A and B are shown apart, each in its own frame.
Chain A
Amino acid sequence: MNSRKNLFIFSYMALPVSLYFVFVLVPYLGAMAISLTRWTGTSTLDAIEFRGLQSFQRILSDEKFWSALSHNLLVLIVMPICTLALALLFAALFTQGLKGAKFFRIVFFFPQVMSVAIVAIVWGFVFHPTMGILNGVLNLVAQAFGRAGSNFPWLGNVNTVLPSVISVAIWQAVGFYMVLFIAGMQGIPEELYEVSRIDGASAWVQFWSITIPLLWETIRTAVVFLTIAAMDMYTYVTILTNGSGGPSRAADVLATYMYQQAFGGGNNSNPFGYGTAIGVVLLLIILMLSALGLRVTRREVNEY
C-alpha cells in the first residue's frame, strides 16, 4: 500500500520538478556561479575562467551601473508612493457603496491585464512630440490661456524620460493594488465602523484609525510587490526608449543595463560574466529591500 503511494507521488512529481529544476532553479543558481567567471559565452564550457569577485569589483567603479541603480531608486521612491495612494483612495471610495462603482472598478483594473509591451507602445504614442495626445491636451489648454503650444519630446528629454516611464508603470499598476485593497477592506467587520460612527468619528478619522491599521498586512504585501516591480522595469524602459535607455541613457535601469551588457554585443569583453554579476547584485538588492520593507512596516498584528 505504502509503496503504491510512494510510486504515485514520485510519478506525479517527477516531471514538474525536473522541468522546474532544469529551467528555473539551475538558471537562478547558475547565475551565482557564472558571475564569478570571465566568459564570452561564444565558446564551450571549457573556456570559462574563474575570476572570483573581479566582475563585482568592476561594478564598483562602473559609472553606468551606479547611474542605472540611481534610476531604480528614484522609481522605488516615486512609484510605490503614488500607486499606493491612488489605489487606497479608489479602494476606499469603492467600498463606500458609490453608484457605478462596479463600472469604474472594471475600467480601472483593465490596464493590469494588458501586456506591458502594448501598454508601452500605446504610451510611446501618447508621449510623441507632434502626434501624441499628451501634447495635444496641453496645447489645447495653452491655447485656452492664449499661449503658444509646444512639441515637447517627453521621451527625448533627459529630465522627463524617466518620470514619463514611471507614470506609465503607475498607470498600469493602480488597478491591481486597488482590487487587492478592496478585497482586504471587505474583510474588515462593519461593526467597527458602526461603533466609531456612534462615537462621532468622521470618515477621515475612520480611514486612518480603522481601515489602514486593519489593512496593514495587505499594504506590506503590496510594498514588497512594488519593490520588486520597481527594481524590474525592463519592458517599460526597453519599449518606451526603443531599447536605447533614453537620451544619454537617462532612463536606463539595472535590468536594461544588464541585458545590454549580456546580449547587447558592444565592447564588453566579458558579457555573460559581467551581465550575470549585475543580475546577482540586483537580486541581493531586491532581497535586502524586501526584508527592509517588511521590517520597517512591521507592527503588532491587529486581531479582529
Chain B
Amino acid sequence: MAPPTPPISSYVNYSIPAKNGASWSALLKVFAYVLLVFWAVIVVYPMVWSLIAALKTDAEIFRTPWSIPAILQFENFGRAWKKAQIGAYIGNTFLVIVPAISFTLLLSSMAAYVLARFEFTGKRLLSTMFLIGMMFPVFLALVPLYLVMRYIKEFTGIPMLNTFHGLIVVYIAYSLSWTIFFMTGFFKTLPKEIAEAAMIDGASHSQVFFRVMLPLSKPGLVSAGIFNFLGQWNQFILPTVLMSNANVEAGQTRYVVSQGLYYFQNQQMYQSDFSGLFAAVAIVTLPTLIVYLVFQDRIEKGLTVGALKG
C-alpha cells in the first residue's frame, strides 16, 4: 500500500557518519509526508469524487470516472431530496433521534448520577449489567428483539414494530450502556461538597440533581449528545429489522436515512439515477461533516475515553 522504501536507508546508516544525521532525518521526514499525503488522498478522494459526481449528469458519470461536469447539475440535489425522498428520510430520522437523544441523556444521567454518588445493594450488579451491553454486538439480539416488539403488541395492544415510538424506545435502550458509562465517569469528577452544601440548605435529592448537578454536567451532556447524534443518525441494523416500508401509501415512507439510502441504492437496478444517489450521499454526509468539524476535539476525546478506561 505504501510507496516503496527508498533503498538509500541502509546505505546511509553504514557509510555516512553520524554528523549527517540531519539529512537522514530530513529524508525520513519526506518519506513520512509522502505516506501521510498518500493516505489523506485515499481518505478524502472517494468523498470529493462522490461530491463531483453529484453535480454530473448520469451520462457523464457513465462515460469515465474522471469526467468533469459540463454544467453543474444542482437539480440532482432537488431530485434526491424530493423524488428519492431523502428529505422525508431525514425528517423521519429527526422525528426519531430528537426525542431518543433527549431521553437517552435524561435517563442515562439519572442512572449515572445514582451509580456515581450512592452506595446501595445491587449497585455492582447493575453496573455490570449495563457494561455487558457495550460488549455484545447488536445483531445478536436482532431476532429476539423483533419478537419482543411483536409480543408487546400482543400483550398490551400497543403496536411497536414499524412505528416511530417503537424505534425511539429501542434507540434509547441501546444508547443507555455507553451513555451511562460516560456520564458516571463525568459525575465522579464533580466535587461532592456542592451537593452536600445544597442538602444542608434543605434541598431534596431530586432538587440537588436537577438544579445543581445537571447544570454542572453540561459539558458532559454535550459530548454524550454529540455521540448519540452520530450513533443514532448512522444507525442501520436496528431500523432494518424494526422499520419496514411495507403497506404505506406513496409519500408516507417510514424509513430513516441510512435505510432510505440503501433502498435508493438497490433501486438503481431497476431505475437508475446515479447522479441522484451521489447527491443523496452528499446530503446525508453533510450533517455529520459539520458536527465533526465543529466538535472535532470533543469527539476524538470522547470516542476513545470509553475504550481506554473500559
A residues whose Cβ falls under 8 Å from a Cβ of B: 4-6, 8-9, 12-13, 15-17, 19-20, 22-28, 30-31, 34, 41, 44-45, 86, 89-90, 93, 96, 98, 100, 104-118, 121-126, 130-133, 135-136, 171, 174-176, 179-180, 183-184, 218, 221-222, 225, 228, 231-232, 234-235, 238-239, 242-243, 255, 258-259, 262-263, 272, 275-276, 279-280, 282-283, 286
Contacts and interface: CB of A to CB of B under 8 A. Distances in A.
A5 B118 contact: yes
Contacts, number: 244
A17 B111 contact: yes
A5 B170 CA distance: 30
Given A218-B308, A259-B142, 6 more contacts: A109-B299, A130-B62, A131-B61, A133-B45, A179-B300, A279-B139
A23 B170 contact: yes
A44 B291 CA distance: 45
A287 to B, nearest CB: 9
A263 B150 CA distance: 14
B172 A118 contact: no
A28 B136 contact: yes
A275 B36 CA distance: 44
Interface string B268-298: 0100001001100100110011011100100
Given A16-B180, A113-B299, A279 B140 contact: yes
A34 B144 contact: yes
Contacts of B291: 113
A234 B237 contact: yes
A19 B265 contact: no
A276 B142 CA distance: 9
B173 A24 contact: yes
State the main secondary structure of chain B at its contact with A.
helix
Contacts of A86: 39
B65 A107 contact: no
Interface stretch (B71-79, B184-192, B228-236): B228-236
Nearest to A109: B300
Q: Among the interface residues A16, A116, A225, A235, which one has the most CB atoms of the partner chain B within 10 A?
A: A16
B107 A16 contact: yes
A20 B176 contact: yes
Given A111-B43, A234-B139, A4 B205 contact: yes
A136 B46 CA distance: 12
